[in-house]
Structure 1
Amino acid sequence: MSSNYFSESSSSNINDSLMNSNPATPPEPSDTSALSERYQDYFIASAQRKNQSRYDHYPLSKSALPESLKQFNVNSGNVSYRFYDMASSEDVREFDLSLVPQKNSLVSQPSSLSERVSVRHRKRICRRNDVSSISNSYAIPPSPKVEAPLTPISQRGSPFCSSSQTEPLSLTSIAEKYQSLPENVQAYTFFQMLRSCERRSMRPLMNKCELLLKKDLLAHLPNFIVRKILGYLDFPSFLTVALVHKKWRDIISSFTWYWRLQFENSGFSVDLQDWNYAYPLKPPPPFLHNNHVADEYFYDIFKRHYLKKQRWISPAIPPSHLSFPVHDSDRMVTFLRIHKDKIVISSESGSIQIHSAITGALEARLEGHKDGVWAVQIHGNTLVSGSLDKTIRVWNIKTGECTHIFRGHTSTIRCLEILSPKRVFRDGRIVIEPSRPYIVSGSRDHTLRVWKFPEENDPRYLPSESTSIEQWEKNPYYVHTLMGHTESVRCISGYGDILVSGSYDYSIRVWRISTGDCLCHLRGHTLRVYSVLYEPEKNLCISSSMDKTVKVWDLRTRACLHTLEGHSLPVTLLNVVQDKLISGSADSTIRIWDLSSGTQQMVMYANGGYIRTLQGDEHKIVSSNDGSLKLWDIKTGKLLKYLLTDVSGIWQVHYDENRCVAAVQRDNQAYLEVFNFFGRDSKM
């Protein structure tokens, strides 16, 4: 537009308005920047007008200028501005404004090159030195007296836009310049910006300011102090901390050690499933410990163990319950095991039944024994059974076929054990023992017999009943007979190449299976030995007896380390969990002992009837007595719940990670009661 856009009188009024404006913090009259600030008040107020009527009237005395724009230095008598509104490019309006400084307020030397300032809808401001000076043809009002000479305005101009730079100012550069201002100037600038904001936009801004005023407690602390603080949190609080702020979440995610700490504080121990999850291609060490697994895996490992515990101890929903009768309705169930998604049971009738753990349907019936089956072991797809008929039978679980029959014992086979090759320490190095799997059977004929475990592709061996004793020992799967006990062999337990046996002759013997050697003979009980356990890592043997005691033996020294007394009737059941020994007795009590010191930790009273079944793990114990099935907390000894109460008797109980199965008698009928703690019809 023409430079005569304003009349001479209007120019005079503008200069009067600039000289008489009253900003929030007026500068001293001698401050040369004051006049420049007043010029800017006018420029920006004019640029913000959004319609033609705003170009016709310029109430500069009422305008408010943001602090960030009050430092522009104007060194020419005429400045040209261009205003860009939200309109299209055709509607862009341009006007020229001549600002005449007072003689005593600005430098007396000739004016420099005129500067053009473009205001583009509050987005950016730039200054370009490409506009020629516009002649000063406007009236100049008289200037007031100034007592002292004023300091010339710097040629650098505004701190936000250098005269030597031609590129536009971005929001980022404005923010950087703002940060370089003194603290009090920053405060004043921010306050003035707030004053110019609409009320509706101030509310979210104030909420963000409130967040910025909050102090981060963790970001400024040393790492070891943060670890100490977070170590006191339980894991629900720990997870809540991660939701507070992204920085806190990053801190939480970096503290993988915390989940190991929670894992150990909860009394959990890594197992083979955990190892296979962390190192699927690496063989496990001989005996797994928590320190064998790296911290990075403990979040998922802890999650698995914790959820398993919660499902059993305090489930969100009750476990599903399946009850169905077994076919031998009038016979006692002598053995029960959960094998994958199957339930295997044997009975006094001599039959072995395989049921679906999901539906209860009978999937297979293994028949061949002529009398009751009292000992069963499962290894992979192979089942081995021992019977009152003095024989051992080997079965294919998938097909239900009997593939091998071993004869040789002259009395009831009371116990069985399958010893597979294990990684163990021998003379300071890791070895695998034995070289192949073995079957060991204990009998009332006072002997133990060792047999080769038939592999899947080995030839069948099904001798007739008329085969003589001499022919029995020509069995290609027969290895040798272990002799030494003088009474019935009641119980056996082994690991790797070592097996311990307990007998009614009051003694325990330790054998090396591959050679048949008796390594030691342990005496000390005064009545029949009823149960034995072999603890391979510590090389201990634990035995219980009809003499009401439990003994802990060191197999290295052959010495009795502890005699555990407290039960008032025969001790019939033993279970080792981590460093705890659990014993069950006919006196209706379950006792927990410290295996290292031999001290009694707690007693759980089952209230009537001897303890018939007992099984425990890192967080629970399941026991049966007096027609009831009970669930206990192993850490506190508290009775958590009754799983069953409406039965005449309970013969066998077994549980895995997800299910608990009990063989019971109700109204002279045998039933299987299946409790699914993982979820209805779940498969693992």
Structure 2
Amino acid sequence: MPVLSPPTPAPSPRLSAFSLSSIIDRISESDPAHVSRREFAGLSPPVRLQYLAALLSDCTPSELLFVSTTISPLLRRDLLRDLPPEISLHILSYLDDPQALARASRVSKSWNRLLNDQWLWRRMCYIHGYALEQDGHAEAHRGRRVSARHSGIEGCTSNMHTASVRPRHMRLIRSPYSSSAMNWMHGGKLLRTHRIPLVSTSQALVAPRNPADEPAAAPASAIPTSIALDDAWLVVGLANSRIHVFSAKTGVLSRTLVGHESGVWAVALPNALVVSGGCDKELRVWDVKSGYCIHTLRGHTSTIRCLRVLHGRPVAVSGSRDRTLRVWDIQRGRLLRVLEGHEQSVRCLDICGSRVVSGSYDTTCRLWDVDTGACLHVLRGHFNQIYSVAFDGVRVASGGLDTTVRVWDAATGTCLALLQGHTALVCQLQLSPTMLATGGSDGRVIIFALGASYQIVQRLAAHDSSVTGLQLDDRFLVTSGNDGRARLYRFAGEGGTGEYVPVRDLSESSDSVWKVAYMRETCVVMCKRAGKTVLEIWSFKPDDDS
């Protein structure tokens, strides 16, 4: 019996030669074997597609590969070349590395022309802290450089939008401020990592004790409750009644202030003084250099929950669970006046000039004149406890347990805006000249534009749990959360408009971050890590200034 070949799958249907020839015949009766490019260009789109399909069906695999390789470059589009120049420049503005810009300029002639735009390089100079100076006028321009730190890009390079070739008498200079900004972006120097002591150290104002003579303090007692930071000192108040003073320049523990009988809930650092208050109802004034307690001020009948010191004046304002605010002369150590009106605990304070705003569990904010003690406005609108306030002299912002933020006119006391977006307690607020930043227990940070509309500029899913710290300026936004992260964002914009772009985590992951605070060249992260209270002090000073 003959052996038959096994059946093979039927080939895919293809246009026959008769079909192809019939198409060609219909296209050109004069030359059925060939259609010129001119004739093909004159065909209607459906017929062109039909002809191409018939032609490709007769190609071999190698021919199809050749066609695919030839077509692939033709299908690519240069978006930067095809888009309007304004949009292309906006896309390129997200590059913050000058080497990346230089490499991009070598991609094509069109990219090179686009990247020769002076605005891109002027912005790059601003980001990296370069400014143009004339050799003979360095002193005259030094003040201009300093003002550029606050005014933005226009104060940085006033002559860069002229010719692309710089005159010989112009030179680029770099300020220490710009170097610190780069250190923030790429990582600074960890000065010290402290495990906050549970008992007094040998530098305390009392004699050191043998740890065996008394039981160890509970771990919860070392939780940081408050922080104050300036160029020279870092002051940390703890729930175990201690106040630790660190050098902001070296990170070394300078001394421990002992005197409070229970937890310290508020600290302030006006010049060379430390002002503190807490659960023992006392306000204490310390000399930061010697650690000596200058004054012990009594008057509150319950825990002092918040504290502020007027700028440039030896006057402190404290808020307490006894429903009152008290104004103190911390230089002479005496009570000036009592501000009464709240019906429940005073939870938060903020000060601008000689006026103070207080937020209370009675769901109201009050605006006071510190010098007279008069209540200027009662701000009503929240329907639950208020936990945070911010005041810039023009407007008052308040947030609380009702998940909303309200903005008030400080002059008239009227509500300017009701801001929504959080789904839990609003516990952090900060005002800048152009923006309002809010942080909530939902882990979100929301940036609102200040103006007639108070529109949401940006929503950040900053943390997986409650936001515990929030601070921003014209360069950066720093946040911390109970998820154990402290995060850095960079402001990408000009003239106060723009968004914050995530840069990196400021510290390694921990169980929880309790507090974060920073100044231009110093950052402090206080966290719980491996069951211990840890305080990290970072320096972002330029290398030649470290």
What's the TM-score, normalizing by structure 1?
Answer: 0.51
Look up the match of 1:658.
Answer: 521
More moved, 600-609 vs 322-331: 322-331
SS at match of 2:460: strand
Look up the match of 2:197.
Answer: 327
Change (3 A) 1:581 1:302: farther
Change (3 A) 1:383 1:235: same
Task: Supply the distance in 2 between the matched residues of 1:513 and 1:664 (Cα, whole angstroms).
Answer: 35
Select which of 372, 375, 399 maps to 2:266: 375
**Contact map agreement 1:259 1:302 (CA 8 A) in 2:** no
Look up the match of 1:550.
Answer: 405
**Contact map agreement 1:358 1:682 (CA 8 A) in 2:** no
Which letter does structure 2 place at the counterpart of 1:327? P
SS at match of 2:228: strand
Task: Supply the distance in 2 between the matched residues of 1:567 and 1:368 (Cα, whole angstroms).
Answer: 40
Report whether the alignment pairs 1:503 with 2:352.
Answer: no
Which letter does structure 1 place at the counterpart of 2:469? T
Number of residues paired by the alignment?
Answer: 382
Look up the match of 1:354.
Answer: 245
Task: Supply the distance in 1 between the matched residues of 2:140 and 2:270 (Cα, whole angstroms).
Answer: 42
Look up the match of 1:588.
Answer: 443
Task: Supply the distance in 1 between the matched residues of 2:339 and 2:282 (Cα, whole angstroms).
Answer: 17
Select which of 274, 282, 301 maps to 1:410: 301
Q: Deviations over 1:424-444 (max 9, x none)?
A: xxxxxxxxxxxx531111000
Change (3 A) 1:251 1:560: same
**1:533-572 aligned within 5 A:** 533-536=390-393, 539-572=394-427
Report whether the alignment pairs 1:619 with 2:475.
Answer: yes
Task: Supply the distance in 2 between the matched residues of 1:368 and 1:261 (Cα, whole angstroms).
Answer: 43
Which letter does structure 1 place at the counterpart of 2:122? D
**Contact map agreement 2:403 2:424 (CA 8 A) in 1:** yes
Identity %: 32
SS at match of 1:598: coil
Change (3 A) 1:263 1:479: closer
The CA RMSD measured in Å over matched residues stands at 3.4
Give the drift of 1:334. 1.0
**Contact map agreement 2:295 2:330 (CA 8 A) in 1:** no
Q: Deviations over 1:208-241 (max 9, x none)?
A: xxxxxxxxxxxxxxxxxxxxx9677526689xxx
**1:242-391 aligned within 5 A:** 266=152, 303=175, 305-313=177-185, 315=186, 318-320=188-190, 322-328=192-198, 330=219, 331-391=222-282
Q: Deviations over 1:14-72 (max 9, x none)?
A: xxxxxxxxxxxxxxxxxxxxxxxxxxxxxxxxxxxxxxxxxxxxxxxxxxxxxxxxxxx
Q: Deviations over 1:514-546 (max 9, x none)?
A: 11111111101111111111112xx21111111
Task: Supply the distance in 2 between the matched residues of 1:380 and 1:350 (Cα, whole angstroms).
Answer: 22
SS at match of 1:380: coil
**Contact map agreement 2:300 2:322 (CA 8 A) in 1:** yes
Look up the match of 2:369.
Answer: 512
Look up the match of 1:601.
Answer: 457
Task: Supply the distance in 2 between the matched residues of 1:406 and 1:419 (Cα, whole angstroms).
Answer: 17
**1:135-284 aligned within 5 A:** 234=122, 266=152
Task: Supply the distance in 1 between the matched residues of 2:540 and 2:462 (Cα, whole angstroms).
Answer: 23
Give the drift of 1:590. 0.7
Q: Deviations over 1:140-191 (max 9, x none)?
A: xxxxxxxxxxxxxxxxxxxxxxxxxxxxxxxxxxxxxxxxxxxxxxxxxxxx
**1:50-89 aligned within 5 A:** none
Which letter does structure 2 place at the counterpart of 1:370? E
Look up the match of 1:189.
Answer: none
Report whether the alignment pairs 1:442 with 2:332.
Answer: no
Greater radius of gyration (CA): 1
Change (3 A) 1:678 1:560: same
SS at match of 1:641: strand
Task: Supply the distance in 2 between the matched residues of 1:609 and 1:397 (Cα, whole angstroms).
Answer: 35
Change (3 A) 1:355 1:261: closer
Report whether the alignment pairs 1:644 with 2:495.
Answer: no
SS at match of 2:506: strand
Stretches of structure 2 that go unaligned for 5 or more consecutive residues are 1-116, 157-170, 200-218, 493-498
Task: Supply the distance in 2 between the matched residues of 1:412 and 1:544 (Cα, whole angstroms).
Answer: 22
Which letter does structure 1 place at the counterpart of 2:388? S
Change (3 A) 1:390 1:336: same
Task: Supply the distance in 1 between the matched residues of 2:198 and 2:475 (Cα, whole angstroms).
Answer: 35
Look up the match of 2:75.
Answer: none
**Contact map agreement 2:463 2:485 (CA 8 A) in 1:** no
Change (3 A) 1:623 1:681: farther
**Contact map agreement 1:495 1:534 (CA 8 A) in 2:** yes
Which letter does structure 2 place at the counterpart of 1:666? R
Look up the match of 1:578.
Answer: 433
Task: Supply the distance in 2 between the matched residues of 1:449 and 1:269 (Cα, whole angstroms).
Answer: 43
Change (3 A) 1:390 1:250: closer
Change (3 A) 1:601 1:413: same
SS at match of 1:645: coil
Task: Supply the distance in 1 between the matched residues of 2:265 and 2:448 (Cα, whole angstroms).
Answer: 29
Give the drift of 1:638. 2.1
Change (3 A) 1:452 1:327: same
**Contact map agreement 1:499 1:511 (CA 8 A) in 2:** yes
Task: Supply the distance in 1 between the matched residues of 2:396 and 2:154 (Cα, whole angstroms).
Answer: 24
Task: Supply the distance in 1 between the matched residues of 2:255 and 2:138 (Cα, whole angstroms).
Answer: 52
**Contact map agreement 2:148 2:155 (CA 8 A) in 1:** no
Look up the match of 1:478.
Answer: 335
Change (3 A) 1:357 1:249: closer
Which letter does structure 1 place at the counterpart of 2:398? S
More moved, 351-360 vs 494-503: 351-360
Look up the match of 2:530.
Answer: 667
**Contact map agreement 1:260 1:302 (CA 8 A) in 2:** no
**Contact map agreement 2:147 2:155 (CA 8 A) in 1:** no
SS at match of 1:384: strand
Give the drift of 1:670. 1.3
Task: Supply the distance in 2 between the matched residues of 1:361 and 1:263 (Cα, whole angstroms).
Answer: 29
Task: Supply the distance in 1 between the matched residues of 2:140 and 2:292 (Cα, whole angstroms).
Answer: 55
**Contact map agreement 1:648 1:665 (CA 8 A) in 2:** yes
What's the TM-score, normalizing by structure 2?
Answer: 0.64
SS at match of 2:269: strand
